[in-house]
Amino acid sequence: MRHAQTISVVITTYNRPDALEAVVRACFTQNDKNFEIIIADDGSTANTVASVERLATDAPVRLRHVWQPDEGFRAAMARNRGTLAASGEYIIFLDGDCIPQRDFIARHRALSQAGYLVSGSRILMSEALTRRVLQDGIDVGATSALTRLRWRLHGDLNKTLQPLGLRWPDVGRTSRKFSWRRIKSCNLAVWRSDLDRVNGFDESFTGWGHEDSDLVVRLFHAGVMRKDGAFATEVFHLWHREAQRDQETSNRNVVLERAASKITQATIGLREHARPAA
């Protein structure tokens, strides 16, 4: 089995520089440093720009910042722009509030396989623990299993075994029965060639919700299967207030329609960025 050789981590962010800094610095301490970082910024202000500039001075890997104007929630466009700026053959999408563990890149590389995407997993942090991590600069990746167990016992984490470092081998991670549910683009790995095949994320989705499920549905129709990244690729998801979900129902209905019609192409995606202006 051939695993990914070149990896790009596309990190989406919007006006949360303290969380972004914690995420990027955790990327700097990976035990596999053969990757690059693309920060896909959905219109953050100068505070984030200053934070990225500070991070760039310490970066042990290539780091780029791709910014777009703030015109509402446009995560699909940000991820597409990040993809176009990336040089890797394998793209790991990571949100700017999801702190990776030390072996995040190594585990994603080990799970990479032609014909598959990897849907990663996350560990939710409480509001109180999130505040301590960001204010005190706690290096989550360096914490011991005992510390994490204490966090769990105090109700600051929503899972028990994954934070303790339990890992499953790369067996039993695929299924002939496909499901687009529980897909999280905060931790999702896809081959660049597969993204090109379906025209990337669909920027016609408006508001929060399901643009990631739509991508996975279209990839499935194009022949790409899903591999479960649980007990291998966990990230610590910093607490935040839920985004407005005004368009969630309509977006979900679009996904259901596309699942039935077997559409593979994004209406507005990667190729539209490549077209010259009229």
Any idea which residue has 């989705």 for tokens? 205
Q: For the chain, how far is it from start to end, CA to CA, in angstroms?
A: 44
Q: What is the number of alpha carbons within 13 Å of residue 142 lying toward its C-beta?
A: 10
Instruction: Spell out the domain ranges in the chain.
Output: 7-274
Residues near 62 by beta carbon (within 8 Å), at least 6 away in sequence = 36, 37
CATH code, 7-274: 3.90.550.10
pLDDT tens over the chain, length 278 residues: 789 999 999 999 999 999 999 999 999 999 999 999 999 999 999 999 999 999 999 999 999 999 999 998 899 999 999 999 999 999 999 999 999 999 999 999 999 999 999 999 999 999 999 999 999 999 999 999 999 999 999 999 999 999 998 888 888 898 777 776 667 789 999 999 999 999 999 999 877 667 888 999 999 999 999 999 999 999 999 998 876 555 566 777 888 888 888 999 999 999 999 765 44
Q: Please, what is the Cα angle at 234 between 147 and 154, to 5 degrees?
A: 30
Nearest to 91 by CA among 181, 204, 182, 224: 224
Rounded Cα–Cα distance for residues 199 and 64 (Å)? 22
